[in-house]
Each structure stands twice: as structure tokens, then as C-alpha cells.
Amino acid sequence: MKIPTSYLRMTAIAVLTAGLIGCGGGGGGGGPAIPTASNAAITPPPTTAVPITTGAQATNTTIAAAAFQAVNGAGLQTIGNIPSLAGAVTTAPTATETTRLMIAEIVRRHAEKIKDYMGSAPVAGAQIVQTVPCFSGTETLVVDDMNGNFSQIFVSCDEGGVIFHGTISSTGVSATVNLGSTVGSSYNISVTATITIDLSITTASPAAVLVSQGSFTFSVTSSGTMQDDGFGGLRPVGVTTIVIAGPSLLASDGVNREQLSNFALTVVDDDVTVATTINSGSHFTYANSASAINGAVTVTIATAIHYAFEGAHPDAGVIEITTTSPGMIKVTFSSVAPLIMVQVYSDTAGTSLADTYNTLTWDQFEALI
């Protein structure tokens, strides 16, 4: 899921976890003070329904491209050696990779950190506060397993050219970890919580400032079998399912603003096939302040969106785009020509086909918004 960095990402906040991976074990009571970090509130974009008009190819394909952008922002992007829920070592993404990380990625990595830290206090119910230096600035983890809270706070934290500033925190955390002890034995891991994000990310190459703010619930479950890791230990190999749902998630690059609202998404990451799927039935309302859209559409995953290992684009799936006005846009992705097919219907049910556009290349499609 290699997404052009020119796109505004609803979920560029996922890169914050890159700075968390190297964080060591926690200290005990009497630790450092807890810092605060926040960003200016994002004004929501216009949410007026964008009309779907048959015969308007430029408008309808642009709407389709914007919806695809939002779908990618909701999906899971694997960058480098992604951590499993059992705590595999990971490498931080480069600056040019940071804006390709997605909402399911932040949730999965955040769940990984929760699994590692919750219950690790030397005294039951104790609060752990750990501050570690970045190249400049700081990063602080606050673990309160008695009350089920977990926070990560970045104060102008420079991680090799990517600067994080803000807070990501979870409340009502529940974590269950059952790992097998022999090759072939089963494992099961589950983490659930309500997550709140207020984070800015600044990169020099490409030059960008991205801010994301919102709150939603999540659950991350992983199951499979333990396998030999090649170093005398074990690693889990299986399927991880990320479920997120919430009323609003905002993002801004200082020029355009985006919003996912009333969203419910299920993303499945398969360690065996190394493929990612955004399940059918996932849906959200997407609003964008860019002049090409300047309004909102409703997006539904009609057929699961599938990304093969290292696939730059989906090789299967269908999304349906509707608004409050009559009409529907259907976008079909395939591994064979036409790779992208945009169909426009005059009715919301998608029974009266009016237009079909299937001559777009991926470069043309992604350049529309």
C-alpha cells in the first residue's frame, strides 16, 4: 500500500509509533514529572453532501480518487519489520515512509506497546512514568495499570528528521496475552481500549506538517501458532484483526482538512500470506476541504479491499460512494486490466448504470486529489 506522499493522510499520526519502538523498560515510583503536549484544534471541513452527477467524468473520478485516498488512510500499511503483538523487534521507518502509515497501523503498534507495558509495574497498581530523550526533545510513557490507562507524550521529539509533538492515550484498557511455549503451540492476544489522539508530525523531506485529532474505540486480536524465530526462540505467526469505530477523526496539513466520521472499520493482517484486507461492510463518511471536493461523501467497502505482499495498490475489491442526493459511484480494483474501473449510477441502489470510466492509470487516478 505505497501511497503518494503528496496526499494528506487522515492517519499520518501512525508514524509516532516509530519513535516508541526503541523505548526500554519502565522505571518505578518517584519518576520524572509527566509533561504535556498539545496542538491547535482543527476546524472540521465542510460536510455538505457532494452531488453525484452522471456524465461529469472529471468530477466523478475525482470523487472516486478522494474516496480511495480515505480507504487507504483507514487501512494497514506494513513498513519494514512491523512488530507483532508478541513483541518482535522493529525498525523505524524513514522520513519518506512516515506518511504512508495508516490508522490500523497506529492502533496495532499502540496495542503492542500496551501489551508490553501494562502489568509491568513492580508493585501492583503502581504508575510508571518513563521519559527518554530523542535526538532533541523527549518522549514519555505513562502506564497506570490500576486504572487501565496508557499514554505516550511527545514534546518536540526529533526521531531522525521526523518531529512528533502531542499526545496519544488510551483509557479503559484491557489486555490478555496467552503465548505458547513450544513450536506449533497456539497463542492468543487481545487488547481493547478507547484511544485519543492529538499529534503533529513535521517532516523535512518531504516537507510537511500533519496534525491529527480524535477519539475512537479499538480492539486488536491476534491468534495463530508459535514458530521458530531462527535465533533459538519463538515468534507468533498468525492473523491479526484490528477493529476501530468512532464519531470523528480530523487531520490537517495546514492547507486542507479531512474528517472521517461515523466510521467502523475492520482490517486483517495475515502474517502467513503477508497480505492486508479491509473487510467488506467497513464504512465511513469522508469530508475534505480541498477545492476539488469541498464536502462529504459516504464510503462503503462492498467487496473486501485486498493488498498483496508489497503491493503498491489493491489487487481486488469494490468501494461504493453515495451522498444524500441520488446516484452512486462504484470503484472496482483488479490485478488485471482495467486495474481501476469507475462506474456511475443514476440511482443510489446502483441498478441504473450511466457511465463507465476504465482508461485511468494509477498515476492518473491518484493525481486527481
**What would the pLDDT profile of 9-66 be if each residue is shown by its tens digit?**
333 333 333 333 333 333 444 556 899 999 999 999 999 999 999 999 999 999 998 8
Q: Cα Rg for the chain, rounded, in angstroms?
A: 21
pLDDT digits (tens, 9 = 90+) for 172-211: 999 998 999 999 999 999 999 999 999 888 877 767 788 8
Given this model, what pLDDT does residue 121 score? 54
Q: Under 8 Å CB-to-CB from 351, ≥6 apart: which residues?
A: 345
| Rounded percentage of the chain residues whose pLDDT exceeds 70 | 81
What is the structure's pLDDT at 264? 94
43-52, 82-91, 157-166, 224-233: segment of lowest average pLDDT: 82-91
Say what the pLDDT of residue 123 is: 55
* Cell digits of residue 322: 453515495
Q: For residue 15, which phi and psi values (nearest 5 degrees)?
A: -65, -15
d(CA 232, CA 355): 59
In sequence order, what DSSP letters do the residues of 2-61 get, joined into one string?
---TTSPPTTGGGGGGGGGTT------TT-PPPP----PPPPPPP-PBPP--TT-HHHHH
Specify the 3-state DSSP secondary structure of 252: strand
Please state the pTM of the whole predicted model.
0.81
Instruction: Output the pLDDT for position 98.
Output: 31
Summarize the confidence of residues 66-71 as an average pLDDT. 84
